[in-house]
């Protein structure tokens, strides 16, 4: 997983509340187990017209938001089913940060497992960012170590992240990488309890 320390990017404002995971990545595209290849289908029903051409009215299709890597949304972002494909699609598209007043709990956790930073800000601050991002390319600077979010003008806010999750993001550690850090202890426990190493078990099943 790619470490997250600081990030500067264009903000794409998605002025919608209660965006659920089926809107983020529709169910018909959940046919792969790899984490890549989903970005092209992100917000598919909103990004595309019935004939398959890009919808010019959808935010991500507007030229001023081309290359955006910070998504701004309203409350309860990522609600609905718990599919991890939702953060996969956002990350594959190029988003590193999602800002909203509130997130669905499982989506919020899945973001950290996929190297993406979800930031909670209060409604008034989110409204300020929507106003600034609506007029064209608007950049924000995110510093995870300092826990700060700022622009090139006068906007600057602190945000709170659980220390464990922050450490994992800073070091690019997902659940598997965390387990591998304890590989010596795991091997010692397996040996002391007469348990075959996972590598041997897998080798015997091939």
* 184 vs 103, higher pLDDT: 103
For residue 161, pLDDT over 50 is answered with yes
pLDDT in tens, 23-46: 999 999 988 778 889 999 999 999
Q: CA–CA separation, 200 vs 205, rounded Å?
A: 9
Q: In the chain, what are the domain boundaries?
A: 6-173, 175-206
| Residue 140 banded pLDDT, cuts 50, 70, 90 | very high
Tell me what pLDDT residue 35 has: 84
Six token digits for residue 128: 């300020």
Tell me what pLDDT residue 2 has: 87
Backbone angles phi, psi at 185, to 5 degrees: -70, -35
Tell me what pLDDT residue 202 has: 44
44, HSE (Cβ side, Cα atoms, 13 Å): 16
For residue 200, pLDDT over 80 is answered with no
Please state the CATH superfamily assignment of the domain spanning residues 6-173 in this structure. Aconitase, domain 4 (3.20.19.10)
Q: Which helix (H) or strand (E) holds 48?
A: none
Six token digits for residue 28: 């018909």
Q: CA–CA separation, 28 vs 18, rounded Å?
A: 20
């Amino acid at each position: 997983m790619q470490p997250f320390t600081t990030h500067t990017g264009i903000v794409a404002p998605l002025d919608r509340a209660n965006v659920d995971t089926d809107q983020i990545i529709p169910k018909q595209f959940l046919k792969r187990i790899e984490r890549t290849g989903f970005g092209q289908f992100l917000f598919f029903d909103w990004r595309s017209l019935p004939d398959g051409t890009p919808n010019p009215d959808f935010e991500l299709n507007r030229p001023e938001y081309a290359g955006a890597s910070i998504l701004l949304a309203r409350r309860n972002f990522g609600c609905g089913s718990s599919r991890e494909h939702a953060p996969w699609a956002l990350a594959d598209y190029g988003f590193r940060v999602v800002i909203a007043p509130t997130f669905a709990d499982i989506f919020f956790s899945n973001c950290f497992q996929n190297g993406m930073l979800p930031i909670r800000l209060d409604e008034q601050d989110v409204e300020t960012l929507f106003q600034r991002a609506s007029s064209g390319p608007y950049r924000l600077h995110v510093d995870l170590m300092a826990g700060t979010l700022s622009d090139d003008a006068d906007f600057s806010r602190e945000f709170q992240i659980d220390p464990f999750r922050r450490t994992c993001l800073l070091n690019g550690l997902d659940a598997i990488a965390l387990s591998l850090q304890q590989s010596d202890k795991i091997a010692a426990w397996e040996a002391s309890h007469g348990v075959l190493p996972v590598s041997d078990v897998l080798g015997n099943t091939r």
